[in-house]
Amino acid sequence: MTTLKSFQAEIEALAHSSHEKAIKEAREAHAAAELARHHGKLPATKKNGLPNQPAAASTVQHEIVPSEINEARKDGTNGNGLGASEEHAEKSIEDLIISEGNTDDELQSRLASSLLRGHGEYLISLGSHPSPAHRFTHPPPSADDVLPTQGNPITSPDLDKAIERLKVVCKVLSAELNELYRVDGKDGNGSGCWLVRLTPRGVEEIMEVRVAVVGNVDAGKSTTLGVLTRGGLDDGRGKARVALFRHPHEIETGRTSSVGGEILGFSPTGQPVIPTSHAADPADPHGHALAVAKREKMNWEDICKRAAKVISFIDLAGHERYFKTTLYGLSGCAPDYVMLMVGGNAGLIGMSKEHLGVALALNVPIAVCVTKIDMTPPKILEQTVNMLTKVLKSPGCRRIPVFVNSAQEAVDFDLSSFSSSTNRLCPIFMVSNVTGDNLPLLRTFLNCLPSSQSDDKYVVDAPFEFQISDVFSVPFVGTVVSGVITSGTIHANDAALLGPDSVGQFMPTAVKTIQRKRASVNSGEAGQSVSFALKRIRRNQVRKGMVLIAKTETPPKAVKRFEGMVMVLHHASTIQPKYQAMMHCGAIRQTVRIVSLDHPSGLIRTGDRAKCVFEFISHTEFIKEGQIILLREAKTKVLGVVTKVL
């Protein structure tokens, strides 16, 4: 499996180079547009603020950032008039908070710049504490080991003064300061971690994290989501999951069969946004009757009004019959993280291994939740933990399992760049939806995850592009499409091209209205999942896998054939030309045929790599270089990347 890791590294390098090329072309196009606007050839931009700035960043900039940061953002510096290399030579924000020789203006300027880059939030770690990179090593350190530390030691009284100073600066910036954890040592020194989060002015500025929830049948996926999003605990008979089901047969069988969606909101102070009655009656943790629990479900618009950050859960099916639906959710919904649910009484069995293998192939960071620990006998639970640890450490996974037992460990995962594709850490939470054990740790972990928009693959300055993952026909509204904006920015009433259709053409249309988390917004930007109501488009003209793109000088091109570098993860025999399989590429799901393959033997087996030419069976699609493809046919799985469109 070292070959798989090297192949994934090659995929990332290719995707990174294609993104750099796209960014360069986009900046050149914007520079030309600004020059034309300077000569009066183009109208002013629709935004108030700097050209090409994200909506959230523009708002923050004009309300909280001093004028020197405004100028710094124009010339690409970091908000202090310093380039990226010069910034490392300067004091960090943590040093500025502790040091009394610096003015609050300097700290305010640096913190505002960091909030801009973090899309509205920033984690601050103060004091001396063990380095997360060394805490989560393999094998884990013993109690007698002296771990390397990071940060400067600070006494508890000085830490109190630093926090008071930070509170004053946060108040000026209209931000909230949330204490994640604090440790006061016996030697008089203190340490801790604090989260600074801006209060958004509207739904456009809310941070979003997409988490796909996978696992075997009866692993507790829907129940866990019901408990996390409602606040009340389960009664042990499935009460918490009923409000999540979308179809009658799901309620009858207790099994999810579709790609469902739930959101968990976090307020600017870091508190979960849940129905008030659950929080108001701790003496009755199981809440009340089923009908009341279903009626108490908060609608998404109410959650967004109170939230500054939203975790979008993609509840996927666990039954083998719906594996293609689960695979489409992992590929088409663009999750930032995968949460694997493992039943403590059953272990890592059945489709759990299939889902884990797909997540590893797509190189998505994975967190594991072991559920039902309250009802599982200790010996069975120990067997489940041992099996899970063995699988994660195996050559096929090469992950470092770490059991999270404190808020400090939950936060340290985010400080250790858990979202990085090169990070091998895998946090494990042992939870119970009936007793509530370790659920606060899971919420803390989710609260600190970086926003989807922080990912480098979402380029705001590039031309607009949107992948359609679902289509609806809404009465009195018309055709509505939903998906993820992969690049650029869009406003209501902007013109766009929709395609490709059955003959490979792109149709002109316009975006009537935009909704984000079922709340109306005026704009959307790269990294956000949104819904558009389209003008002059009928429902039968749209299908999953189509794209909405901006009108540019170079018209978009739909292709029937493309070239890709692939690696066979598993196949029972050999793959030869004319072999057909179902291909997943983002929101695209269509059967492809191998026209030719470049391999000395003329065929490929499990573990082989080859460059292949693929052809779509049904109709043309819009694909780009650097996109990841996944082929499946029964137990066969082939991972690849698009290297050239033909």
**CA 365 – CA 383 distance, rounded (Å):** 25
> Which of residues 544, 575, 598 is at a domain's end?
544
327 vs 334: CA distance, rounded Å = 11
pLDDT for the residue 133: 59
Supply the CATH number for residue 257's domain. 3.40.50.300
208 and 193 belong to one structural domain: no
Per DSSP, 575 falls in state B
Give domain status of residue 401, yes or no. Answer: yes
Distance CA 502, CA 524 (A): 28
Check whether residue 430 and residue 475 sit in a common domain. no
Query: Does 17 fall in a domain?
Result: no
State the Cα–Cα distance between residues 345 and 206, nearest whole angstrom. 38
Highest mean pLDDT among 169-183, 231-245, 266-280: 169-183
- For residues 377 and 234, membership in a common domain is answered with yes
Residue 330's nearest CA partner among 317, 319, 342 is 317
Q: Is the predicted pLDDT of residue 231 greater than 90, yes or no?
A: no
Is 62 or 327 the better-scoring residue by pLDDT?
Answer: 327
Phi-psi sector, 323: left (phi>0), alpha (psi -120 to 50), beta: alpha
Q: Does residue 38 sit within a domain? A: no
Distance CA 370, CA 429 (A): 6
Last residue of a domain, one of 495, 521, 544: 544
Residue, of 196 and 102, whose pLDDT is higher: 196
Both 99 and 167 in one domain: the answer is yes
**Residue-wise burial string across 44-61, b where 16 or more C-beta atoms lie within 10 A, e elsewhere:** eeebebeebbbbbbbbbb
Q: Which of residues 58 and 602 earns the better pLDDT score?
A: 602
- Per DSSP, helices labelled H in 365-502 are 378-393, 407-415, 439-448
Q: How confident is the model at residue 57 (pLDDT cuts 50, 70, 90)?
A: very low
Same domain for 521 and 583, yes or no, is no
Share of the chain above pLDDT 90, in %: 46
Q: What is the rounded average pLDDT of the residues 203-207?
A: 90
Q: How many distinct structural domains can be found in the chain?
A: 4
| In a shared domain, residues 580 and 499 | no
148 and 228, same domain (yes or no): no
Instruction: Tell me, yes or no, whether 317 lies in a domain.
Output: yes
Confidence class for position 422, pLDDT limits 50, 70, 90: low
Would residue 83 count as lying in a domain?
Answer: yes
Instruction: Provide the whole-model pTM.
Output: 0.83
Q: How confident is the model at residue 41 (pLDDT cuts 50, 70, 90)?
A: very low
pLDDT per position as a tens digit, 364-394: 999 999 999 999 999 999 999 999 999 999 9
Confidence band, pLDDT 50/70/90 cuts, at residue 524 = very high
Does residue 11 fall inside a structural domain? no
Q: What is the pLDDT of residues 115-171, one digit of tens each?
A: 888 888 999 988 887 766 566 655 555 555 666 777 788 899 999 999 999 999 999
> Quick one: 353 and 497 in the same domain?
no
Domain range for 490 is 465-544
Based on the fold, state whether residues 433 and 358 are members of the same structural domain. yes
What pLDDT was estimated at residue 350? 79
Q: How far apart are CA 473 and CA 470, in angstroms?
A: 11
What pLDDT band is residue 46 in, cutting at 50, 70 and 90? very low
Tell me: do 186 and 209 sit in the same domain.
Answer: no
CATH code for the domain in which residue 638 is found: 2.40.30.10
- Two structure tokens written together for 270: 């870091």
pLDDT digit string (tens) for 583-636? 999 999 999 999 999 999 999 999 999 999 999 999 999 999 999 999 998 889
pLDDT at 249: 53
- The answer to whether residue 611 sits within a structural domain is yes
Of 133, 168, 198, the domain-final residue? 198
> For residue 460, is it within any domain?
no
- Please, what is the average pLDDT of the chain? 80
Taking 70 as the threshold, does the pLDDT of residue 305 lie above it? yes
Residue 466 in tokens: 């949107």
Are 142 and 218 in the same domain? Answer: no
Would you give the DSSP letter of residue 459? Answer: B
pLDDT of amino acid 274: 85
Considering the domain architecture, whether residues 173 and 238 belong to the same structural domain is answered as: no
Confidence of residue 19 (pLDDT cuts 50, 70, 90): low
